[in-house]
Amino acid sequence: MTPAHRSLLVDFAILLALAAVAVIGYLYSPLLLPKSDVSATPDPGCDLNRGACRARLPDGGQVELSLSPHPIPVVRPMKIQAQISGPAAAAIDRMELDFAGITMNMGYNRVTLSPLGNGRFAGETSIPVCITGRMSWRGTLIVTTDRRQITVPFEFEAPLAVGEMTD
């Protein structure tokens, strides 16, 4: 094989690898950047560190999210409970809660909630500790129905470390 043919083969291999990365990125982007057909905003004054928070859905339904214990712990098990009512409740395929650091990327932190019936879902997870201090988080509830995806972003703060929490 001549050096010109080798160079051409290497160029082709690089282009093929770049195309493969682009296709994989396109296919898996919904995992990292969930799309939303409908979004809702939690009620004003919502504080997940004190109790459940609610959001009204555009179709007239409601979604409620609670995390426990209080305050919300880091690096310790945390229980998640969600309930949805209204037209969307009958058509839910999947419900997930995606945790993202607001001021710092904390990696992929998403949990799929298990259905309990009557629009209720539950799960358990933990969030990582931030070494720079208190961390502001966004817990986006992702409700996937047979026709659309509904997202509701709930924001809260988590303490620096386990010793900073009070039970």
The pLDDT tens digits of the residues spanning 117-141 come to 999 999 999 988 766 667 888 999 9
Question: For residue 136, what is the enclosing H or E element?
Answer: strand 135-145
Q: Are residues 56 and 22 in the same domain?
A: no
Which CA distances in Å does 122 have to 26, 59, 83, 112, 140? 30, 23, 9, 9, 15
Q: Are residues 56 and 28 in the same domain?
A: no
Q: Phi/psi of residue 57, each to 5°?
A: -95, 150
Give per-residue burial for 13-46: e unless 16+ CB within 10 Å, then b. eeeeeeeeeeeeeeeeeeeeeeebeeebebeeeb
Q: Are residues 19 and 42 in the same domain?
A: no
Q: CA-CA distance, 67 to 99, in Å (whole number)? A: 12
Q: Are residues 10 and 45 in the same domain?
A: no
Of 37, 134, 42, the residue nearest 82 (C-alpha): 42
Q: Is the pLDDT of residue 61 over 80?
A: yes
* CATH classification of the domain holding 66: 2.60.40.1930
Percent of all residues in the chain with a pLDDT value above 90, rounded to a whole number: 37
Q: Are residues 68 and 46 in the same domain?
A: yes
Q: Taking all residues of the chain, what is their mean pLDDT, rounded to a whole number?
A: 82
3-state secondary structure (DSSP) of residue 86: coil
Q: Are residues 8 and 76 in the same domain?
A: no
Torsion, Cα of 8, 14, 15, 17 (10° steps): 140
Q: Are residues 82 and 133 in the same domain?
A: yes
State pTM to two decimals: 0.72
Q: Are residues 122 and 50 in the same domain?
A: yes
pLDDT: which is higher, 54 or 1: 54
Tokens of 146: 């047979």
Domain count, the chain: 2
Q: Are residues 96 and 23 in the same domain?
A: no
Q: Write out the residue range of the structural domain in which residue 103 sits.
A: 38-164
pLDDT digits (tens, 9 = 90+) for 9-43: 777 778 777 777 766 666 655 555 556 677 788 88
| Other Cβ atoms closer than 10 A to 140 | 19
H and E: helices and strands count for the chain: 1, 10
